[in-house]
Amino acid sequence: MNLNYAIFRSEPIMTIYDLAQIGSHNKREKKAYQSNPDIKLELTKNNIELVPLDVKYVKGFDELTKEYKKEHDERMKTERKSRQKKFHEMLNSSKNCVADELIFTATHTFFKDMTREQIKEWADTCMEFVYKDLGYKKEQVLHATVHLDELTPHVHCVVVPLVKKLDNRTKTERYTISKKQYIKDKIQLSQLQDMYHKRLTDAGYDLERGIKGSDNKNIKLKEYKRLTKKLNHELNVKNDRFVESLNDFEEKMKTTKQTFIVDKDYVKVKKDTFDSMNNVINESKKVMELQPKLQAIFNEVDSYANSYKSLEKENQKYKKEVNKLEYENKNLEQENRSLIYRLNELFQLLKKFLRKLLQRGNDYTKDEATDTIKDCYDNEEFDMKDVVGISKGTTKQDELFDYVDAPYYLKERVRDYDDYDYDKDDFDMSR
């Protein structure tokens, strides 16, 4: 007896570019699909639009988020020019997703002998789950469609988790895109999969709950190879630039006497050294921006490999491909671990350097260092304790303490707060 399983998964869309690519696939806007031979374009006319979208994904997204963009544009008017970002640029550089793709399907045999109308009824039940169990409003659904031109029917539902949340720093409500408002973590995702199975069985569908802890993917091996290859290339390029800028900065730091002019009250930093430091910061941010994508991709590859492991007896012909994917995933994870280690070292160096600039720099240097510290805090590269440790006892202390909402007792006991040891001689610029 063959068991049919209910399948639901959630895949974050991290950038506007990724959203456009997914839209082209979901709306069948490409002329050919050589990468996916399972798509039969002659059957595309049978696909079912559950929530239609007459324009391209990015244009539909812009319409859905127009109030968010308006709020962002107003906020940028009061920002320093060096910190201003366009709406799409801000979304792409944030650690939040721009949208979430919900995919619903079942074991292939479940759809055997089903009519188009019956598949539509099943898909409508899936959309009830989106609205009633996940809690999305209809205006948050960018597009939803049923693909009947592939081997197994499935629903693509792209949602934009646009919400208003209280900003702790400004004490005002602001728009943001937060998937965690609907799917907090893997534990909640597992609970939602239970709810999805129950909704289907309550509607009369004879389906089993998928194996807990597994994440059986319906994506072809070629797609994972392409993603892995692209990610490795992007990682190598960013890492090379990062290492190059770090080496340049370290070389300049070796010649301390030539790099810094020290008098009684100030340290004057040569422009090329200061520019080198900023270059290191910028390149490190680019590497860090890759981290969410990198983590998501190798998690997907890992899940994909585990999924195929559970089906080895039925899919022996894929065994070599699975082993290769596991090997590639281990290499990717090792690269990621090494990169994170280097980044941690770099940020420790930057914290010490920024503190020295706040202690002994001129007014311009202090202002630039303060802006850099604020940027790092806004991007969650520094936390409140980092900012406190860097700025304590300096002329920028009060400004930065207020910026991160440092507790009152830290302001009172700042002389006793010395967890960071940023004043050690290992970065003494006076030598």
367-421 confidence digits (pLDDT tens): 888 988 888 888 888 888 889 989 988 999 889 998 888 887 776 655 444 444 4
Report which of residues 274 and 173 the model is more confident about: 173
- Residue 122: pLDDT band by 50, 70, 90 thresholds? very high
Report CA-CA distances (Å) from 246 to 6, 166, 257, 280: 50, 38, 19, 6
Structure-block tokens of residue 37: 């031979």
Distance CA 222, CA 219 (A): 8
Q: Is 278 exposed, middle or buried (0-12, 13-18, 19+ CB in 10 A)?
A: middle
pLDDT, one tens digit per residue, over 19-77 is 998 998 899 887 665 556 678 878 888 899 999 999 999 999 999 999 999 999 998 88
pLDDT digits (tens, 9 = 90+) for 22-37: 998 899 887 665 556 6
pLDDT at 341 over 60: yes
* Predicted pLDDT of residue 144: 96
Report which secondary-structure segment, H or E, holds 24: helix 16-26
> What pLDDT, on a 0 to 100 scale, did the predictor assign at position 35?
54
Number of Cβ atoms within 10 Å of the Cβ of 133: 15
Q: Say what the pLDDT of residue 80 is.
A: 85
CATH topology of domain 5-213: BirA Bifunctional Protein; domain 2 (3.30.930)
Q: Is the pLDDT of residue 338 over 70?
A: yes
pLDDT of residue 430: 37
What are the beta bridge partners of residue 360?
none
The rounded distance, in Å, linking the Cα atoms of 214 and 305 is: 10
Strand partners, 145: 49, 156
CA distance 26 to 102: 12
Give the pLDDT confidence score for residue 422 in this predicted structure. 45
Give the tens place of pLDDT for each residue, 278-311.
Answer: 776 776 666 666 666 565 555 555 555 554 454 4
- Decide if pLDDT at 99 tops 90: yes
Mean pLDDT, rounded, for 86-105: 91
Alpha carbons within 13 A on the beta-carbon side of 431: 8
What are the extents of the domains in the chain? 5-213, 225-427
User: pLDDT tens digits for 188-239?
Assistant: 888 899 899 999 999 988 888 765 554 444 444 455 556 566 666 666 776 6
The predicted structure's pLDDT at residue 38: 72
Q: What is the mean pLDDT of residues 167-185?
A: 85
pLDDT at 347 over 60: yes
Identify the pLDDT of residue 291.
60
* Sheet arrangement for strand 208-209: 48-51, 141-147, 154-159, 99-106, 5-13, 208-209
Residue 69, C-beta contacts closer than 8 angstroms, at least 6 positions apart: 62, 87
Quick: pLDDT tens for 125-172: 999 999 999 999 999 999 999 999 888 899 999 999 999 888 777 778
pLDDT for residue 316: 54
Question: CA 414 to CA 48: how far, in whole Å?
Answer: 63
Of residues 312 and 109, the one with the higher pLDDT is: 109
